[in-house]
Every structure is written in structure tokens, then in C-alpha cells.
Amino acid sequence: MRQKSVREEGARQRTPHASDHGWDEGEPKGEERPGEPPDGGGEPPRGSRHRHRRGGGGGGRPPRRKRGVLRWSATVLAVLIIGTAGAGYLYYQHLNNSLQTDDLNLGEDRAPAPTPNAAGQTPMNILLIGSDARDSKANQKLGGAKETFGAPPLADVQMLLHVSADRSNMSVVSMPRDTLLTVPKCTDPDDGKVYPQTGPKFMTNESLSRGGPGCTVATWEKLTKIHIDHFMMVDFAGVVSMADAIGGVPVCVDKNIHSRTSAGKGSGLKLKKGTTEIEGKQALQWLRTRYGFEGGTDISRAKAQHMYMNALVRKLRENTSLTSPNQLRKLAEHAVDALKVDDGLGSIKKLYDLGNELKKVPAERTTMTTMPFDFAGERVVPKPGDAEQLFRLVRDDIPLDGKGKKKKSTPEKLSDDPAAADDKIAIQVQNGTRTDALAPVPGRASTVAQLLAGKGFAKAAPDTTASLAEGRTVVRFPSVDLEGDAQRVAKSLGLPLSSVKKSTDVSGVTLVVGADWREGDVPPKPKKKDDKTPDSADALSGSDKKACMKVDPNYTW
């Protein structure tokens, strides 16, 4: 963790209080300046000398009392302006220096950045992380589990916030904390410790303990192929303090609820049926509740978190509670103390600019979703097909509410580099049929290599050392001089040109037989692109004020 150093001389002074620049809503008190007459005294303003009105009437000077009041008012006004500017600058520096930052991505490979649209705009992706850190007395008190005090934190809440390129819509994708996947190799920026890549059954929330939030970002990019621009992380105490500063967020349950089991497990949340404004510790309990909501799983918890976020965003937009400068100051201080962000958001101005970008999106064009999943014992894995469909919609900047304009399909472009003769093209065939739920098909690379040899590709050879997980069959090539060869291989198999990808991970033309081609002599034809959000994503509109969590009857009172 890094914290900004204090560089400006003025910032080493005490942190200005609200009263220093009028935020305590008190009355300013004037003082007489030593040695100056109460009425102001002195000479008349420049330009008024030797100027007298004809006809008498007291000359060019205003009455001494009026003139004194005007000068006193101007002096006080000038002092207030200068004083407020100075205090505001010091307060701004105080907020800047309190903001904690960390590296954005600790992995080795980045997902490609999106291509700008016709107007030169690009979408923005921010990973929101809720840490279960119990590294302070406040976090320990709120999080419980005393035996884990000081242990590496876990990313128990993970939400990808996607803002469209034209800022017309926004999407949120939650991932259950117990999702099993592969975490890439990460290097801790503080001590240089290297964490090797994990197997495919590693819980996603443990990524945070492998060097920090940058490893959680790298994990998301590896799974989704979505380029992430920023992250924002908050812990238990931060959630409580910010909820207090906002003044409460409305949530709804369809029955009385008490999240507590006979064994003492549960968040302790206790609410009456209907809508309740929750804040502080109660807000944290809502966000952590699993026992009590129907289903009793992390999926239920994610749905409750979506409802809370929707209500929070609506409240901030309406500004119903943030009506005084003092409340805004408290919210700013609590937010800065609670957040850890990447360097790209590492200043108050950058956070302010981000807030202005988010405000452009109408509430009714915000969609909350959960990554489609299948159960794997007590854990979950990304649901084949549906999860990738959701990730693709985000990658392609397609609105999840179904209200986007249909994009014109662009014709596939043949390479300018002509392909070599089939028997001269060297092809390496890899087995990518493994999935999170299925083992790889034995000997699949050898089978397909023989199939290619039968088609005249005499230099096709299996790579028996590789065991990959590739959803769809692809042909990869490392440089433009091999693009024509790769396209020729794809055409011979009936694969679309969109399955041909340039990649620095291969040294020559490489066919990766995906999970979509686990058997048979012909790869399946790709389905026509469907831009509909999968039903399994459990989409919730940000404008839905009637959403209410269903309570498990075993937890009502």
C-alpha cells in the first residue's frame, strides 16, 4: 500500500477545520484594525480629488459612516476570499494526501484495450472490490472471525462496473466470491514476492492475498478478456463510515428477517418487513448477509448488494440528504479514508472527474447482473456459453438492457499476405478441450492433426505437452507474414475468419481445438451472434424501486 507524501509547505500545517472556511455555518466576526479610526478615515479614492459637484450638496465624498462601512465590507470580503481559498487549498491537499493507491495490474498479460468508436470515445471499466481485511480494531469488530486477525485479506465482493463509450448506459457484473478459476502469476509490488499461476480450481476471492488488488484485476482480465482501466477497493470500516455520511439507504425485505443461525452464524441483520433506511453497521450487515435471504448463497448476497447499490446511486443523484457543505465534507473525508485506488484515480480531481462521467448515465439505463454460473460442489464455476456471452457483450460495449442500437456487421477481410501451399504450412495442434467442469478429451490434438494431414497439411503435428481451456476453436499466428497461412487453415476446416487471432503466445500457426469441438471430424458452425443478456445473469434495472429481497422462512421473526 502506498500513501501520497506531503510535499507542499502549506500542507504540513494542521488540517483546516470546517469553521476555517465557513463550513460550520457560523457567523463571521469582524475586528477593528489597530491604529485605524472606526470610521475608516484616510483619503478619498483616487479620481475623486478636486472633483466637486456644482450646486453644493456636500461635495464628492459619501457620508463618512457609509464610506467606512463600504471599506470595512470590502476588506472583510477580501480576507474571506483569500482565507477560504487558502483553507480550501490546504483541505484539498489533505484529501489528496490521505488517498491510498496501489498498482493497477500485477499480472504479466493485459487484455487488449477497446477500439474507440466513430466519435473517438472509449468505454471505461472499473473493478469494485470489497475487502474482508481484519487488520484494524474497527475492521475486527465489524468483521468478526477473531482467528483471522492480521491474515491476508480476501476479495469477498467483486463487481465490474462498465460505462459505455457514449456514456448512455452502465452495466455491473458481479462474480460470486467462491468462483473457482485460474489466478495468473502475480508479483507483489511491495516486496517483490512472485505468486505462480494457480490451477483451475482456485477461489477468486483469494486473488487479493497474492500481492494486492492488482492481482484481482489480473484475474478478471484473464477470465473475461475485458480491459480494466481502474479499481476501487473499500473495507468493512469504510462501508460503515460512508453509509453514515450518506445518511441511510432504503432497502426492502418481504418478511421480517434476522440473519442468525442456532450455531451463531450470520450477519446479525434484523429488519422488519417492508422498506427501511439502513446506515452504518446495519448497511454492512445487509451487504454481508447470506443466511436469511432466500437461497442462502453468495448469489443471494450479490442480489442484495445490487439492490443496495441501485438505491445508493439513486440517493446520491437525488441529493436528498447531502444538502449542507458540512455533510459533503464528511462524505469526502470518509470516502477518501475508506478507498484504495489505482494510480490513475490517485487524486481528488480524478475522482471528481470520474463522478461527473458516471452522472451522465441515466438511472434507468443501469443494469446489474451476476456472472452466470454452475455449481461445482459447494462452489461455483462460470457457466459455459452464458458467462462468455455476458463477457462478450461487455467487451463489445453492447448494453445489457437490450436498448442499444444494432451495429452493422463488417465483412471479414482476407489477409494481403498470400498463403503458402497446404503441404508447406507448419501447424501445431493443441488440445484446448478442458473446461472448469470437464477434463480434456484424451488424444484430441493427435486426432485433429491426423485429420489435417488427410486434408493435405503434411506438416501438422500435435503438441502433446499443452492442456488448455479454450471455449471455442481458434487458429493463432504470431506475425503478419503468417496470417494468410492461418486463414487458409481456418478455411479448410470451415471456421470463420473471426476465429483467426494474432498472438505473441505462439511461435507459428497454432490450431487450438476448443471445448466446442470435443468430438467429430468437423468443428461446429458458430451460432449467429445473439446480443441478448442471458437469463441466467439475473439482470436488475437501476430504476427498479420495487425490488424486494425474499426472506427464507427459517430466518423470520
Q: What is the pLDDT of residues 392-435, one digit of tens each?
A: 999 999 999 999 876 665 666 788 889 999 999 999 999 999 88
| 184 domain residue, yes or no | yes
Q: What pLDDT shows up at residue 319?
A: 59
- How many domains is the chain built from? 2
| 334 domain residue, yes or no | yes
- How many angstroms separate the CA atoms of 25 and 325, rounded? 9
If you average pLDDT over residues 336-358, what whole number do you get?
87
Residues 6+ apart with CB under 8 A from 523: 473, 493, 494, 495, 516, 517
Confidence of residue 78 (pLDDT cuts 50, 70, 90): low
* In the block, residue with C-alpha cell 457567523: 27
Residues 6+ apart with CB under 8 A from 348: 92, 95, 96, 99, 332, 336
**SS3 category, 448:** helix
Task: Please name which of 216, 394, 179 lies closest in space to residue 297, comparing C-alpha atoms.
Answer: 179
| 475 domain residue, yes or no | yes
**SS3 category, 464:** strand
| 467 domain residue, yes or no | yes
Both 445 and 343 in one domain: the answer is no
| 150 domain residue, yes or no | yes
Neighbours of 207 (CB within 10 A): 31
Both 330 and 204 in one domain: the answer is yes
pLDDT digit string, tens, across residues 115-172: 898 899 999 999 999 887 644 454 444 444 444 445 688 998 899 999 999 999 999 9
* Domain limit, last residue, from 500, 517, 534: 517
Both 395 and 487 in one domain: the answer is no
Both 366 and 446 in one domain: the answer is no
| 172 domain residue, yes or no | yes
Both 261 and 185 in one domain: the answer is yes
Both 357 and 505 in one domain: the answer is no
| 66 domain residue, yes or no | no
Q: What pLDDT shows up at residue 465?
A: 85
Both 328 and 195 in one domain: the answer is yes
Q: Using the predicted structure, report yes or no on whether residue 83 has a pLDDT greater than 90.
A: no
Both 252 and 356 in one domain: the answer is yes
Rounded percentage of the chain residues whose pLDDT exceeds 70: 75
Both 439 and 505 in one domain: the answer is yes
CATH code of the domain in which 449 resides: 3.30.70.2390
Both 385 and 426 in one domain: the answer is no
Lookup: cell for 540: 436488475
Evaluate whether 124 touches 104 at the Cβ level (below 8 Å).
no
Q: In what order do the strands lie in the sheet with 339-342?
A: 2-3, 100-102, 339-342, 230-234, 124-131, 155-163, 170-174, 366-370, 540-541
373-376 and 379-382 as β-strands: parallel, antiparallel, unpaired? antiparallel
| 13 domain residue, yes or no | no
Rounded percentage of the chain residues whose pLDDT exceeds 90: 47
Both 309 and 339 in one domain: the answer is yes
Instruction: Average the pLDDT over each of 25-39, 69-83, 285-299, 343-357 and give the range with the smallest value.
Output: 25-39
HEC letters along 247-285: CCEEEEECCCEECCCCCCCCCCCEECCEEEEECHHHHHH
CATH code of the domain in which 384 resides: 3.40.630.190
pLDDT digit string, tens, across residues 297-312: 888 888 888 888 888 7
Confidence of residue 230 (pLDDT cuts 50, 70, 90): very high
**Angle at the Cα of 23 (from 19 to 25), degrees rounded to 5?**
90
* Domain limit, last residue, from 350, 372, 402: 402
Q: Which residues pair with 291 in a beta bridge?
A: 293
If you average pLDDT over residues 3-15, what whole number do you get?
38
Distance of CA 282 to the CA centre of its chain: 24
Residue scoring higher pLDDT (521 or 24)? 521
Distance of CA 218 to the CA centre of its chain: 13
- How many angstroms separate the CA atoms of 382 and 436, rounded? 8
Supply the range of the domain harboring residue 395.
124-402
* Domain limit, last residue, from 353, 369, 402: 402
Both 353 and 387 in one domain: the answer is yes
Q: Which residues pair with 276 in a beta bridge?
A: 251
